[in-house]
Structure 1
Amino acid sequence: MSSTSAPPPWSVHRLPRADGRVFLVTGGNAGIGYFVAEQLAATGATVVLGSRDTAKAEAAMASIRAQVPGARVRAVRLDLADLPSLEASVRSVGMGHLDAVVNNAGVALDDPPRRETSDGHELMFATNHLGHFALTRWLMPLLSAAPTARVVTTGSFAAKSERLDLDDLQSRKDYRPKRAYGRSKLAQMSFGVELDRRLRAVGSTVASVVVHPGGALDSLTPPRPSVHARTAGARWGAAPAALLVQGKHAGAWPAVRAVLDPSVHGGLLWGPRVFGLRGEPRPEPVWSHVADPSVATRLWDASRDLTGVDPGTVIGVIG
């Protein structure tokens, strides 16, 4: 007789091995994206950092190798605000398949004036949402070539109180930076949920999962030479906040679990356990305004028109 034992409970401190798998992390050179990349590299996987800044990518790779001896890490130049460049960026990945992409990179502006990309799109909406929408289209054949791939979209708690203005997605009429940021992350999360609906409809082996990091502060983040510095004063000053929020290394945990845990299913939202702000990752109900299919469909159609590409046309395509 043979017996099988249940897998051990998930722990952020005992990640499963992922040797032979390939993961792409957009914005993997800094912040939460850096720690997602570092933690995934510790599993034995090949981790590709997508970064628009070559020097910062080199510094991040050096830091990951210092933390994870023998880490398999490389970088590709990826500028999500430059939509025409994304197809070539995906070709430069140089892999026959991709087991997961973590759509993490983002821009957050605190002050006016409103800024646009060279294509005339509002910068935060273009980078955080439109860039990942278009990138997913070019990555889909690589994802479909893997046995069970995942698209992991990193949203934000800032999106919880926002609602999309489908008649002014680019904030041309009333630009408020913090609101525009929250709406750009909401658009990104809505896309992640809608993508999974469409993947399930065609029986794809690719799943789409949405995560958010809760409250993640630089001052609670462990230092990484040349990537992130933290003074003793900042550490002690932020100590009271640690009761409610966490560092960016912990903000990475929901995305890392969404990539690695075989029990994670598409269409779910994962965030920190304690009030959605800190702690180990857990599933939580998808926010109703994120899951609204009528809004998501209109957003998808608008994104297709603005980018000139449609991830839906290549869902399930291998090659």
Structure 2
Amino acid sequence: MSSLHRPGPWDVRRLPRAEGKNFLVTGGNAGIGYFVAEQLAGTGAAVILACRDTVKAEAARVSIRARVPGARVRHIRLDLADLSSLQASADALELERLDAVVCNAGVLLDEPPRRETRDGSELMFATNHLGHFALIWWLAPLLTATPASRVVTTGSFTAKSECLDLDDLQSTRDYRPKRTYARSKLAQMLFGFELDRRLRAAGSTTLSVIVHPGGALDSLTPSRPPVHVRTSGERLRGLPAALLLQSKEAGAWPAVRAVLDPSVRGGQLWGPRVFGIRGLPALEPVRGHLADTVLAARLWAATASLTGLDPSSNLR
């Protein structure tokens, strides 16, 4: 895993051009994913929004094109909770090269009861982790055929304080929504680190980079109607929180940098500069459970068993 280094200067408002490149953003129709897509579209790259709700995806596409003249944006349907549908979603890309995929889509349930997918997996774990794991299996040939492509996995700072129970990945014994969500994000992040180790071992030029948005609130996020509308009252009520937290527009910055910055290396963790909660994107040390290579390898094996897929077999 890459150690800390001094990356070059980076201006979130003056991104490098990326004409000719293709970027896929899961969950690009709303929240942080929307702003990742909007910012990447401003570089001249072709951006594909991969979303479960095609109506919301079309609204996001229209919004991006209204703000970024000439933006090359389209969308495909992607339901990460339905593993059997992912091959069709990957085929729908119809690309010869894929320069980066941002694994951003996620589900956060606020209260019980525990919900399951059609396959019988806990919904948050299935969508946030299992679905992205399987998606990368289907995208691996396209990614590894594209020189210096990137897999950017969006985790959460809440995952840093969680522990992963490999004997109860589906939260069947003690389901608590917020903890289950944090564990699903920890699983995602561990996957991102283990993926990079396996890419390096395979001699691939593809990089796996892990990011998190810090604390990002809707009340601090600028309006993008009809995708997101912030009222004046919400804006005023959110002002005190701005001392500690940030908007979802700013929350997108670490992922955008992980996609575009040539100084970014595989196996790195990027998040907001100020206490990992707000501010410009900065490189963070990898500590605790995130640095546990044995845990990550065991999770990889368990996930491969649950999905019936193993991205390692597609890495070159």
TM-score tier, shorter chain, comes to: over 0.9
Over residues 116-141 of structure 1, what are the superposed CA-to-partner deviations in whole Å (9 max), with x where a residue is unaligned? 00000000000000000000010011
Amino acid paired to 1:216: A
Identity of aligned residues (%): 72
Q: Which residue of 1 aligns with 2:107?
A: 107
Over residues 199-258 of structure 1, what are the superposed CA-to-partner deviations in whole Å (9 max), with x where a residue is unaligned? 011110100000000000000000001100101111111111111110000000000000
Q: Which residue of 1 aligns with 2:128?
A: 128
Q: Which residue of 1 aligns with 2:4?
A: none
Give the drift of 1:97.
Answer: 1.1
Q: Which runs of 5+ in 2 are unaligned?
A: 1-6
Q: Which residue of 2 aligns with 1:249?
A: 249
Residue correspondence of structure 1 range 142-157 to structure 2 within 5 A: 142-157=142-157
**Using the alignment, how far apart are the partners of 1:45 and 1:308 within structure 2?**
34
Q: Which residue of 2 aligns with 1:315?
A: 315
Q: Which residue of 2 aligns with 1:276?
A: 276
Over residues 171-222 of structure 1, what are the superposed CA-to-partner deviations in whole Å (9 max), with x where a residue is unaligned? 0011000000000000000000000001011110100000000000000000
Q: Which residue of 2 aligns with 1:4?
A: none
- Verify the 8 A CA contact 2:160 2:288 in the aligned structure 1: no
Q: Which residue of 2 aligns with 1:231?
A: 231
**Using the alignment, how far apart are the partners of 2:158 and 2:129 within structure 1?**
14
For these two proteins, the number of residue pairs brought into alignment is 310
**Using the alignment, how far apart are the partners of 2:246 and 2:98 within structure 1?**
30
**Using the alignment, how far apart are the partners of 1:191 and 1:8 within structure 2?**
27
Amino acid paired to 2:124: M
Is 1:35 the counterpart of 2:35? The answer is yes
Give the drift of 1:81.
Answer: 0.2
Q: Which residue of 2 aligns with 1:291?
A: 291
Q: Which residue of 2 aligns with 1:52?
A: 52
Amino acid paired to 2:216: A
**Using the alignment, how far apart are the partners of 2:105 and 2:136 within structure 1?**
13
* TM-score w.r.t. length of structure 2: 0.97
**Using the alignment, how far apart are the partners of 1:265 and 1:179 within structure 2?**
30
Q: Which residue of 2 aligns with 1:3?
A: none
**Using the alignment, how far apart are the partners of 1:298 and 1:191 within structure 2?**
10
**Using the alignment, how far apart are the partners of 1:304 and 1:147 within structure 2?**
26
Give the drift of 1:105.
Answer: 0.1
Residue correspondence of structure 1 range 20-99 to structure 2 within 5 A: 20-99=20-99
Q: Which residue of 1 aligns with 2:184?
A: 184
Amino acid paired to 1:174: D
Over residues 34-84 of structure 1, what are the superposed CA-to-partner deviations in whole Å (9 max), with x where a residue is unaligned? 000000000000000000101000000000000101000000100000001
Give the drift of 1:287.
Answer: 2.8
255-264 vs 292-301, which deviates more?
Answer: 292-301
Residue correspondence of structure 1 range 134-213 to structure 2 within 5 A: 134-213=134-213
Give the drift of 1:20.
Answer: 0.2
* TM-score w.r.t. length of structure 1: 0.96
Give the drift of 1:15.
Answer: 0.2
Q: SS where residue 160 of structure 1 aligns?
A: helix
Q: SS where residue 266 of structure 1 aligns?
A: coil
**Using the alignment, how far apart are the partners of 1:56 and 1:238 within structure 2?**
25
Q: Which residue of 1 aligns with 2:3?
A: none
Amino acid paired to 2:12: V
Amino acid paired to 1:232: S
- Detail structure 1 runs of 4+ shifted over 4 Å in the superposition: none
Give the drift of 1:307.
Answer: 0.5
Amino acid paired to 2:35: F
Q: SS where residue 290 of structure 1 aligns?
A: helix
Q: Which residue of 2 aligns with 1:267?
A: 267
What value does the CA root-mean-square deviation take over the aligned residues? 0.9
Q: SS where residue 153 of structure 2 aligns?
A: strand
**Using the alignment, how far apart are the partners of 1:158 and 1:74 within structure 2?**
32
Amino acid paired to 1:30: A
Give the drift of 1:8.
Answer: 7.3
**Using the alignment, how far apart are the partners of 2:229 and 2:107 within structure 1?**
20
Amino acid paired to 2:214: G
Give the drift of 1:282.
Answer: 0.5
